[in-house]
Chains A and B, each alone.
Chain A
């Protein structure tokens, strides 16, 4: 027990000695701390931004819906120059075939996507229109928060009705309730029947900047490109009962479509089938790599800060060789000298790390405000910052400290 108290008192003394030494060279200490501060600051911020990206991506994927396969036609660019007929095709009939023949499919939502111009009295907006069926609402989790979503009746009648996103509503109708209003889409008058439930925005992508109209209406009244066949769609969303069905279904869809389009063996598919699970996995990997790269780059500045610490500690040891000799003559053990310099380095690092952490938290908050991007700094990140600075102190202060402790008392005392 007295031993522990004694060693604690010893560390206290070392902190006092370190503070005195650091105050003596105040400017130098501040500049050295600055290096660690910037290093910790950038590492913490990099981690926070990486975390934020991960959160955003996860949210973005969640807005797609779950247990869903997305089928997109893909031109076969594998052989020779591209021709118009190379363009992969996908039709509503393919969708119906998938619903009928692939097991575990709960719904198929054919869609045509097109950019459109909207005009309301006195205002206008450009946005993405999705021509869809009621299944779209089921498969990708889209509902109307005001009014109603599309019905079979809207589709079969090719009704001029539109469900608009919150952002579009804000642009065209400001704060007023848009339901029942008339908008001109590519000069064709439509009645707003509903407001899409808000899905927010992620990574600068505004999920509420879109409108949904019946697929039939879009095809007949809004499409300008004549290259598409009467039954063509831009993509299909295929909803499955569960994840197991999704995995099996992905393969079945490919086989079915190859059959339907008589794709010869050895040719690649003129379409892609991606599942939400896959998308979540790959984007998760991408953001992890993104975060790793960020942290790696930031670590370089921490490394530079650490080298700064080592440099200053070596200077400090050299400058104070005589003092080291004197302390040894007065009874300091090697461990006492080593600890003295370790504590000095640690104090520099911990102060730098603490300030760096605080600055990173401030920066993250500002970032969040300005860029609408989450950059969470959790307890774990804060602890990591403290651990980081301590490790930097031990690693980069360790060598100079051990060097100082290895000096022979008389050689140290004689030095000038």
Chain B
């Protein structure tokens, strides 16, 4: 048996609001293997983002265990967690989260700063990733001069530039129109074909059908976890 890329045991996150405890994540035990493409669904407030933030090492669980590549994250200090975020995990956000007034190239190069790479190599790698995303002619554009779809592709290039094992995307198509959303899912499918593990939160059942496995949350608990039956294939990426 190989070690799963990601494993949670009784993962809990409680928030206290006005003396009342909200179980945003309530004893979630889940295992995701290398190369999986998981869609996470559920009503608003069901705890999807809370779960994603914990497995992305952005947030600390109230209790329970999170194993990344077999390593218990409880044993890691903030520097080690930063290194995991830098090397092993790529994040894609609903609102793209690009640095304003900063070129696409420099945006994509940011994670490489923290990986300790020199200037020339940062530019080289960032350029290559942007070209892979079909943005070779947009290197010097600032986010304000890019469409939503283009911005999200810059963000994906940034998530991929350090060569992570896993991409975490919280509603990556939430701010995009239908066609652009399908383009993005096409990109994800291609990345998955190339071996990258993907976890994508989405509200839209259509979008979820591009994944291979579907996990549904309700009130902080997993209520459904099954393979997607009629999986969709996106034809190509733009």
A residues adjacent to B (C-beta < 8 A) = 6, 9-10, 12-13, 20, 24, 322-323, 326-336, 408-410, 413
Bound form: Cα–Cα A333–B91 in Å:
16
A331 touches which one: B101, B102, B162 (CB < 8 A)? B162
Question: Contacts A20-B102, A329-B91, A330-B111 given; 15 further ones with Cβ under 8 A?
Answer: A9-B116, A10-B113, A24-B101, A327-B110, A327-B114, A328-B82, A328-B85, A329-B97, A330-B85, A331-B114, A331-B115, A332-B82, A334-B78, A408-B59, A409-B85
Q: Report the tally of A-B residue pairs with Cβ distances under 8 A.
A: 66
Contact B118 A331 (CB under 8 A): no
Bound form: Cα–Cα A323–B102 in Å:
12
Contact A329 B99 (CB under 8 A): no
Question: Are A333 and B114 CB-contacts (below 8 A) given A323-B99, A328-B82, A410-B59?
Answer: yes
CB contacts (< 8 Å) of A413 on chain B: these are 58, 97
CB contacts (< 8 Å) of B85 on chain A: these are 328-331, 409
Contact A336 B114 (CB under 8 A): yes
Contact B97 A326 (CB under 8 A): yes
Closest to A6 in B: B116
Closest to B111 in A: A330
Contact B53 A334 (CB under 8 A): no
Say if the beta carbon of B87 comes within 8 Å of chain A.
yes
CB contacts (< 8 Å) of A333 on chain B: these are 78-79, 82-83, 114
Bound form: Cα–Cα A26–B110 in Å:
23
The residue in B56, B59, B82 that gathers the most chain A C-beta atoms within 10 A of its C-beta is B82
CB contacts (< 8 Å) of B189 on chain A: these are none
CB contacts (< 8 Å) of B158 on chain A: these are 330
B79 touches which one: A12, A24, A326, A334 (CB < 8 A)? A334
Contact B114 A332 (CB under 8 A): yes
Closest to A2 in B: B116
Question: Are A9 and B110 CB-contacts (below 8 A) given A326-B99, A330-B158, A331-B82?
Answer: no
B residues adjacent to A (C-beta < 8 A) = 53, 56, 58-60, 78-79, 82-83, 85-87, 91, 97, 99, 101-102, 110-111, 113-116, 118-119, 158, 162
* 5 pairs, A vs B, C-beta closer than 8 Å: A12-B119, A13-B113, A328-B85, A334-B82, A336-B113
CB distance from A180 to the nearest CB of B (A): 81
Bound form: Cα–Cα A334–B78 in Å:
8
Bound form: Cα–Cα A79–B114 in Å:
82
Contact B116 A10 (CB under 8 A): yes
CB contacts (< 8 Å) of A24 on chain B: these are 101
CB distance from B12 to the nearest CB of A (A): 16
Bound form: Cα–Cα A413–B87 in Å:
19
CB contacts (< 8 Å) of A336 on chain B: these are 82, 113-114
Contact A330 B86 (CB under 8 A): yes
Bound form: Cα–Cα A336–B113 in Å:
10
CB contacts (< 8 Å) of B87 on chain A: these are 331
Contact A330 B116 (CB under 8 A): no
Question: Are A329 and B114 CB-contacts (below 8 A) given A9-B119, A24-B101, A334-B78?
Answer: no
CB distance from A78 to the nearest CB of B (A): 75
The residue in B102, B110, B118, B162 that gathers the most chain A C-beta atoms within 10 A of its C-beta is B110
Bound form: Cα–Cα A6–B116 in Å:
6
Contact B79 A410 (CB under 8 A): no
Closest to A13 in B: B113
CB distance from B56 to the nearest CB of A (A): 7
CB distance from B48 to the nearest CB of A (A): 14
The residue in A10, A323, A333, A334 that gathers the most chain B C-beta atoms within 10 A of its C-beta is A333
Contact B99 A330 (CB under 8 A): no
CB distance from B91 to the nearest CB of A (A): 5
CB distance from A289 to the nearest CB of B (A): 50
CB distance from B158 to the nearest CB of A (A): 7
Question: Are A329 and B56 CB-contacts (below 8 A) given A24-B101, A323-B99, A334-B79?
Answer: yes
CB distance from B130 to the nearest CB of A (A): 16
Instruction: Return the 9 tightest CB-CB contacts between A and B, nearest first.
Output: A331-B86, A331-B114, A410-B59, A330-B111, A333-B82, A410-B58, A409-B58, A6-B116, A333-B79
Contact B114 A330 (CB under 8 A): yes
CB contacts (< 8 Å) of B59 on chain A: these are 408-410
Closest to B159 in A: A330
CB contacts (< 8 Å) of B56 on chain A: these are 329
Closest to A340 in B: B113
CB contacts (< 8 Å) of B162 on chain A: these are 331
Bound form: Cα–Cα A328–B91 in Å:
11
The residue in A335, A336, A408, A410 that gathers the most chain B C-beta atoms within 10 A of its C-beta is A410
CB contacts (< 8 Å) of A13 on chain B: these are 113
CB contacts (< 8 Å) of A20 on chain B: these are 101-102
Bound form: Cα–Cα A16–B56 in Å:
28
